[in-house]
Amino acid sequence: MSEGAALTWTMPTDWTNEPPSNVMRQAQYRAPGPAGDGLCVVYYFGAGQGGGPEANAQRWADQFEQPDGRSSREVLITSKSEANGMPALLVEVTGTYREGGMMMTGGPETVNPNYMLMAAIIQGPDANWFFKFTGPEETVRANAEHFQSLVDSVQGPA
């Protein structure tokens, strides 16, 4: 069982728990797959922090480029759901994922073609929690049920 300030969840058994690589991350998991590993990161920024679900979904889509030049917001898929009674926004987008860069990490930008983001933004009791899973598209799709099981396992405070 993994936990942050107020929510708990169950890590998929095939995934590996890693130490979070920065202080904004509540948890970090490595997911094996046919095209290389994917990474699932859980963010919690505190009460009233982190922005709204739709704005985050659009910002994440903007981190992707489409082969035909369209905006990734045009291929962004969102759906509303629940995680044990808490509202959730599910997010999917594919394309070339541009990660990092001087503004984000202080290092060079990483360009990852044929990538996918599968995410859930869960409205916890005091703030949104962000479950963001990225990796090679084939790997993320192969782990879709595992990611959904993680989201379905999220529990609010007792």
Res 107: pLDDT: 65
Question: What was the pLDDT predicted at 100?
Answer: 75
d(CA 127, CA 42): 13
Closest CA to 76 of 88, 89, 86: 89
Band of the pLDDT at 106, cuts 50, 70, 90? low
d(CA 110, CA 99): 5
Q: What is the mean pLDDT of residues 149-157?
A: 96
Q: Is residue 108 part of a domain?
A: yes
pLDDT attached to residue 6: 81
Instruction: Give me the domain span that covers residue 67.
Output: 2-153
The reported pLDDT for the residue numbered 1 is 45
Q: Is the pLDDT of residue 102 over 60?
A: no
Residue with more model confidence, 104 or 7 = 7
pLDDT at 103 over 60: no
First to last CA, the chain: 14
Q: What is the CATH number of the domain that holds 85?
A: 3.40.1000
In a domain, 142, yes or no: yes
Question: Is 105 a residue whose pLDDT tops 90?
Answer: no
Answer whether residue 158 is part of any domain.
no
Instruction: Name the pLDDT band for 157 (thresholds 50, 70, 90).
Output: confident
**pLDDT score of 117:** 98
- The count of domains in the chain is 1
Mean pLDDT, rounded, for 18-38? 96
Residue 153, phi then psi, degrees to nearest 5: -85, -10
Q: What is the pLDDT of residue 101?
A: 59
Q: Residue 3: is its pLDDT beyond 60?
A: no
- Is 143 contained in some domain? yes
Q: Is the pLDDT of residue 42 over 50?
A: yes
Mean pLDDT along residues 102-116: 77
